[in-house]
């Protein structure tokens, strides 16, 4: 799968996913870097068939109202240490990636992942 990571998450997350073989871009890789608009992120996700990984609930609203981005991984861990967040991804990304083959909206919590229909 191909992912686009929003600026609210640490850049190291992109490095972790890349090290596991995933195709990832981080908002800092885009022309406007961390000033990239949500609209542009949605456009890139649709054009390049990327799953948006974010903590920003605006993406959830847009997904529910307009189906954009087409696939969403919403991180709802609250404020946790980056190491804990990276460990959550290391431990769950393989299953989450597989779930995205048939599902469009997945939530990652402190303890688990939730598939939303």
Predicted local confidence at residue 34, as pLDDT: 87
Locate the domains of the chain by residue range.
Answer: 2-116
Could you report the per-residue pLDDT of 47-102, keeping only the tens digit for each?
Answer: 999 999 999 999 999 999 999 999 999 999 999 999 999 999 999 999 999 999 99
Supply φ then ψ for residue 3, to 5 degrees: -120, 155
Structural contact between residues 56 and 6, judged by C-beta atoms closer than 8 angstroms: yes
**Closest of 108, 83, 63 to residue 13, by C-alpha:** 83
The H or E element containing residue 90 is helix 82-99
Q: Taking the model in full, what pTM does it have?
A: 0.96
């Amino acid at each position: 799968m191909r992912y686009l990571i929003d600026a609210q998450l640490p850049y190291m997350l992109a490095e972790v996913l890349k090290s596991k073989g995933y195709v990832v871009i981080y908002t800092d890789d885009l022309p406007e870097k961390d000033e990239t608009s949500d609209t542009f992120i949605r456009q890139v996700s649709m054009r390049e068939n990327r799953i948006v990984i974010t903590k920003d609930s605006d993406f959830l609203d847009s997904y529910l109202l307009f189906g954009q981005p087409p696939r969403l991984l919403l991180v709802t861990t609250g404020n946790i240490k980056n190491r804990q967040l990276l460990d959550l991804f290391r431990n769950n990304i393989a299953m989450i990636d597989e779930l995205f083959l048939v599902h469009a909206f997945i939530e990652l919590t402190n303890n688990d992942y939730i598939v939303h229909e």
